[in-house]
Amino acid sequence: MVADDAARNLVCEWRSMLSLHARTWSTLERELNERHGLGASEFEVLDRLIESHNPDCRVQELADGIHLSQSALSRLIARLEREGLVTRKMCAEDRRGIYVTPTDEGRAKHAEAVATHREVLESVFAPGSLQTT
């Protein structure tokens, strides 16, 4: 019985975390799209590129921190490139590697959207605002 209670508690915690993630992601998706024309995943890529302070970031490095499949991330980067927010180039040392770099337009779009992103996170994670269920 104690094992069942412990397992039930773990499942409840897991479901609460999933619920919080889904609500937060949905809010980020809506606010970033309405205010800045960016999806949450697109913003996440720009945010990580810019916060890395690395002029060229390998796609594999992005993939390690962004929870998308390799093909979904490649499509997202291609979309950002079409929109003029990033550039891609082959890695000279390893022809299989691809570097991604934010453009000036990408940096400007990120600077415009970062306050919205942080507002949403602050509203979700502010003391007393976390609700489970």
3-class SS letters over the chain: CHHHHHHHHHHHHHHHHHHHHHHHHHHHHHHHHHHHCCCHHHHHHHHHHHHCCCCCEEHHHHHHHCCCCHHHHHHHHHHHHHCCCEEEEECCCCCCCEEEEECHHHHHHHHHHHHHHHHHHHHHHCCCCCCCC
Q: What is the pTM of this model?
A: 0.85
Among residues 89, 100, 98, the alpha carbon closest in space to that of 52 is found at 100
Q: 102 - beta bridge partners?
A: 86
pLDDT in tens, 15-63: 999 999 999 999 999 999 999 999 999 999 999 999 987 777 888 888 8
Q: Give me the pLDDT at residue 132, please.
A: 52
Residue 8 gets the label, from left (phi > 0), alpha (psi -120 to 50) or beta, of: alpha
For the chain, domains (ranges, CATH) are: 2-125 (1.10.10.10)
Which residues have CB under 8 Å from 25's CB, separation 6+? Answer: 40
Within a 13 Å sphere around the CA of 19, how many CA atoms are in the beta-carbon half?
A: 10
Q: Give me the pLDDT at residue 5, please.
A: 86
Q: Give me the pLDDT at residue 93, please.
A: 74
